[in-house]
């Protein structure tokens, strides 16, 4: 049998308390690490005048408005006004794409000639890619825009009516040209 004296009991109690403090008075907290998966799928796309090219119908992307003319005139010229402002269609695509803009038929074409109509009356007009009106955009012509970067392509379109001296009946002559962006 072991007999402890008062002083040895005090020593053992102090040693036990010191050991308890040295190892921490509370249970130790643990930690675990993990990860969060983050992803984004970006599909190839283009935007015309700021509108998303993922939409099937971009609506009217510009207007070509010739100035008012008397019934007899020679040539009259106009430049496209884009729906987003400015004098050109703006095309912004995912870098690396090679978009084409096809300037198609109008509602009143006849034998590959674009025409504006007012009732049963028609007047021919032509579209051009340059302000000198020397590079005609024929019906269905694809305009290759090049390889896309982070900058928008600017596609100006110019028009010319040459009445050929014919007398045109008064009226509001209009047409709607189909434009298709492909990438």
Element (H, E) at 155: strand 153-156
Average pLDDT (95-117) is 94
Tell me the per-residue pLDDT of 139-160, one tens digit each, with 9 for 90 and over.
999 999 999 999 999 999 999 9
Contacts of 175 (CB under 8 A, 6+ apart): 106, 107, 108, 114, 115, 116, 117, 125
Residue 9 pLDDT class (50, 70, 90 cuts):
very low
Q: CA–CA separation, 131 vs 77, rounded Å? A: 9
* β-bridge partners, 182: 100
Average pLDDT (112-136) is 96
User: Are 88 and 138 in contact, with CB atoms under 8 Å apart?
Assistant: no
Q: CA–CA separation, 48 vs 101, rounded Å? A: 10
- Domains delineated in the chain: 46-182 (2.60.40.1090)
pTM: 0.76
Q: CA–CA separation, 167 vs 147, rounded Å? A: 46
Average pLDDT (21-50) is 80
């Amino acid at each position: 049998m072991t007999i402890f004296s008062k002083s040895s009991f005090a020593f053992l109690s102090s040693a036990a308390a010191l050991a308890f403090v040295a190892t921490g008075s509370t249970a130790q907290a643990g930690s675990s690490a993990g990860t969060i998966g983050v992803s984004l799928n970006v599909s190839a796309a283009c935007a015309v005048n700021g509108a998303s090219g993922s939409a099937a119908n971009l609506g009217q992307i510009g207007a070509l408005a010739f100035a008012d003319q008397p019934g007899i005139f020679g040539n009259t010229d106009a430049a496209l006004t884009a729906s987003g402002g400015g004098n050109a269609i703006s095309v912004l695509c995912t870098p690396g794409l090679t978009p084409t803009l096809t300037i198609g038929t109008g509602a009143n074409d006849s034998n590959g000639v674009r025409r504006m109509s007012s009732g049963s009356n028609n007047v021919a007009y032509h579209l051009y890619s340059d302000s000198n009106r020397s590079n005609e955009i024929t019906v269905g012509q694809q305009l290759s825009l090049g390889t896309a970067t982070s900058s928008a392509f600017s596609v100006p379109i110019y028009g010319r009516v040459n009445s050929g001296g014919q007398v045109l009946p008064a009226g509001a002559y209009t047409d709607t040209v189909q434009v298709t962006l492909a990438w």
